[in-house]
Amino acid sequence: MTQVMRSNVWRASELAVSRAVTVTTGHAVLDAELPNRGWPRSSLVELLVEQHGIGEMQLLKPCLAALSARQRVVLVQPPYLPHAMACRAWRFNAQNLLWLKPQSSADALWAAEQILKNGSCGALVLWQTHVRPEALRRLHLAAQATDTLLWLVRPLAAAADPSVAPLRVALRPAMGGIVADLIKRRGPACDAPIFVPLADMPVRPQPVPSHETPVKRAPAAAPARSAAPALV
């Protein structure tokens, strides 16, 4: 009994290792810094972006493309219209890709909760600007009752707000990829930003800035990029 209990306990100085099911991110450098080396199923994951279209969908591409081969992937209230040609180029199974554009944030949250409770989808990506704490709790509870992967994309300014999400990742654009700050994970703080190379991003190298502490607020704005009608 004691051995079973110890297996479910993690120290603050160590990355959590549990029986939770994870799916590889498709990026070895990011997997190495995540508990159980991947995106967790049955859990709320927050992606906090400096602005939409900086590469957040490319970060999720390996995972979503693999899932769409056999399970439904749902995009709820994305900021841009998903582009069919980009989906084909990324080898998404279009028959398993569902796009929902509710009229309001309340409708989007309700739809996401119902999809999670239904349990018929492999992954769900939800975009929201303002989310109340009770709505976050409902999403996380709904996710815990299913095997669905759940990502909530929010503005980077929300990094300073408390959240029930066990994993929160702040994303900033970088030449040749994206910079990820793990501002919350089960384990020690990750003080150094992680540069994740992305194949579809410009390849000119850019040094990753160092941080003495994890991201707590929105950093200085990067030059704006044009919003092409594609998955980014």
Residue 79 domain-assigned?
yes
Residue 102 has pLDDT above 80, yes or no: yes
Q: Residue 224 domain-assigned?
A: no
* Burial track 65-91 (b if 16+ CB lie within 10 A, e otherwise): bbbbeebbbbbbbbeeebeeebbeebe
Report CA Rg, the chain.
17
Kindly indicate the confidence band of residue 5, based on its pLDDT and cuts at 50, 70 and 90.
very low
**Residue 210 reports pLDDT greater than 60:** no
Task: For residues 34 and 166, give the distance between their C-alpha atoms in angstroms, rounded to a whole number.
Answer: 11
User: 214-231, pLDDT tens digit by residue?
Assistant: 455 434 334 334 334 455
Is residue 115 situated within a structural domain? yes
**Domain assignment of residue 172, yes or no:** yes
pLDDT tens per residue across span 27-75? 999 999 999 999 999 999 999 999 999 999 999 999 999 999 999 999 9
CA distance 150 to 221: 27
The pLDDT value given to residue 83: 73
Dihedral angle at the C-alpha atoms of 207, 156, 45, 187, nearest 10 degrees? 60
Q: Which two tokens stand for residue 125?
A: 């990506």
CA distance 123 to 231: 16
Residue 216 domain-assigned (yes or no): no
- Residue 182 belongs to a domain: yes
- The number of domains in the chain is 1
Instruction: Determine, yes or no, domain membership for 9.
Output: no
Distances (CA, A) of 23 to 2, 80, 101, 105: 29, 26, 27, 28
Tell me, what CATH number does 70's domain have? 3.40.50.300
pLDDT of residue 70: 93
Instruction: Supply the range of the domain harboring residue 50.
Output: 32-197
- Judge whether 18 lies within some domain: no
The better pLDDT of the pair 202, 82 is held by 82
